Amino acid sequence: MPKILFTRRFRKTSGSHLRTSGTHLKVRDYFMHCLQHPRLEPYLYFTPDSEYEDSEVWAEVPRGRIVREIAINGYDTLFLTGKDWKLLPKTYKGKAIINLLQSLEQCDEAHWVFRYLKKPAYRICVSREILEAIRPHVAEPAVVIRNGIPLELFHPAPNKNENTILIWARKQPELGERLFQTLQQRGRAVTLLRDYLPRAQFALRLSESDLFVCLPQAQEGFYLPALEGMASGCAVVCADALGNREFCMHGQTCLMPVHGDYDDHLRMIEHLLVERELKERIQQQGLTLAQAYSLENEQKQFYRFVEEFILN
C-alpha cells in the first residue's frame, strides 16, 4: 500500500485568527481523499512553527496520521503545492511526486515558485487556464481536476433575506470598504467580511444572503468563494480572474464587473437589486451549475488519476 506524505506550513495571522486559504482547504481535501481510498496510506507533516491544533481545517485529520519529521525514505509518494518544495531535503529525488497547482503565479517565469515546474512530477491543475499556462514548461503528465466544494455545507437557506448583500473583501479590502460604506449610506442591508470566518459560519452567511459580492485578485487559479456563493443560491458579483471563467459567466451565473472598478461593481450590485427577474435567473443558473462541482466528483477524478499514475 503506497504511503503518501503531505506537507504544510500553517501559521496564525494577527490576533487569534488562524490563517487559512484555498490551498490549505484543497490540501486537506486531497488528504481526506487519500485517507478514504482503500489502497493509499496518507500522512501529514507540519513544519515545527505551524499552529494547526486549534484549526477547523485540520480537525478531521486523525492525529495518528500527523508526523513530526520528513523521513522521506518511509514514503513512496509526496504530495506538494508550490511552496512545499522548499521543505524537502535533497534526498527526495527518485520519489513519485503529485504537484497540485492552485495558482497562476506559479506559471509566471518571473515568480520564484516557477523554477519548481522544472522538477519532475505528476501535476494536478485546478483549472484549464493553469494547464494551458504550464503546458510549454513541463514534460510530465498534467491533468485538470476542477476544485470541488462540500455541497452539504454550501446550500441556500429555506428563506433568504431578500436584497441582503454580503461582501467578501479579504483580497481587496479597500474596494470592499468603499462599496460597503456607499451601500450602507443608501440604506441597503449590507455586511462586509474582511477576515476569515470558520467555514460553517461563512456558509451560513452565504445561505442567508441574496447577493454575494466577492473581490478576487486579478489572477486566480480557480477562486472558490464565487462557486460557494453560487452553491448557496446567491446572485454573485465577481470580476474576471482568469481561473474562474469556467463557472463565472457574465449574465448567466453571475455579473462580472471590471476588476477593481468601484463604479462598475456598484452599478451591477444596484442593477441586481432592482431587476428581480435577472437576479433570480442568475441565482438559479449559478446554483444548477455548482452542483457539478462536488467533492465527490473531485474525488472520483483524483482516484482515476492515482490509478493511472501512482498505483499502476
CA distance linking residue 119 with residue 121, whole number of Å = 6
Other beta carbons within 10 angstroms of residue 150's beta carbon come to: 16
Domain extent listing, the chain:
3-148+294-309, 165-290
What global pTM score does this model have? 0.92
- Going by C-alpha positions, the residue among 226, 215, 224 that lies closest to residue 253 is 226
The 10 Å Cβ neighbour count of residue 220 is 26
Residue among 150, 175, 196, 190 nearest 293 (CA): 150
Domain 165-290 belongs to what topology?
Rossmann fold (3.40.50)
Would you say the CATH fold of 165-290 matches that of 3-148+294-309? yes
CATH topology of domain 3-148+294-309: Rossmann fold (3.40.50)
58: cell is: 485540520
Per-residue pLDDT tens, the chain, 312 aa: give them: 889 999 887 765 544 444 567 688 899 999 999 999 999 999 999 887 777 777 778 888 899 998 988 888 889 999 999 888 888 887 777 789 999 999 888 777 888 888 888 889 999 999 999 999 999 889 899 999 999 999 999 999 998 889 999 999 999 999 999 999 999 999 999 999 998 888 899 999 999 999 999 999 999 999 999 999 999 999 999 999 999 999 999 999 999 999 999 999 999 999 999 999 999 999 999 999 999 999 999 999 999 999 999 987
Q: How far is CA 70 from CA 66, 113, 162, in A?
A: 11, 21, 51
The dihedral sign for the CA sequence 152, 158, 163, 166: negative
Report d(CA 212, CA 224) in Å as an integer: 13
